[in-house]
Structure 1
Amino acid sequence: MINRIVKMEFDPEKVEKFLSNFEENKKKIRAFGGCYKLQLLQDQHNTNIFFTYSYWVDEPSLERYRNSELFKGVWEKTKVLFNAKPVAWSTTVVSSEG
């Protein structure tokens, strides 16, 4: 399984646009082949910083999503709202408790 973490920082006045776009597309992303789970987290102190955590069957599933029309449409609307370059990691679980 691949865990994809993406950190995104938005212009504070554009946060609502981001949240609206996320709400509009989250079910489609979760339903995309190979996606197990999708979470959106917000920094407690810097409320214009968000993280998406998505869980994928494998790297090819994640790549199919990243090359899909769904991703291209979501990303096109998201990237214009940033005030810093996003950072992304693909990770695997090494150890897990509970």
Structure 2
Amino acid sequence: MLKRMVKMTFQKDRIADFLAIFEDSKNLIRNFPGCQHLELLHLENQPEVMFTFSLWDSPEALEAYRHSDLFQNTWSKTKVLFAGKPEAWSMRVAAEV
């Protein structure tokens, strides 16, 4: 299982635009082959800083999504709303407690 975290900082006056994009696409992403989970988070007291957290069956499943029309369409609408460069991390569990 691959865990993916993407940090995005939005223009404050474009937050509602992003939330509408996310609302329109979240179920499509959740139902994309290999996606097990998707959620949207924001920093406390900084609503313009948001994170997507997703779980993928494998790196290949994530890459298939990243090369899909769904991603290309969603990302093209999203990236114009940014106030800063997005950051992304793909992680695996190193140890469980």
TM-score normalised by L of structure 2: 0.98
Following superposition, the deviation at residue 96 of structure 1 comes to 3.0
| Deviation sequence 1:6-42 (CA, Å, 0-9, x none) | 0000000000000000000000000000000001001
Counterpart check, 1:21 vs 2:29? no
Q: Number of matched residues?
A: 97
Q: Which has the larger strand fraction?
A: 2
* Sequence identity (%): 44
**Distance in 2 between the 1:33 and 1:67 partners?**
13
Aligned to 1:75: 75
Across the aligned residues of Structure 1 and Structure 2, the Cα RMSD in angstroms comes to 0.7
TM-score normalised by L of structure 1: 0.97
Q: Which structure 1 residue ranges, 5 or more long, are not aligned?
A: none
**Distance in 1 between the 2:76 and 2:4 partners?**
19
In the alignment, residue 48 of structure 2 is paired with which amino acid? N
| Deviation sequence 1:39-78 (CA, Å, 0-9, x none) | 1001111110000001000000000000000000000000
| Runs of 4+ with >2 A deviation | none
Q: Which structure 2 residue ranges, 5 or more long, are not aligned?
A: none
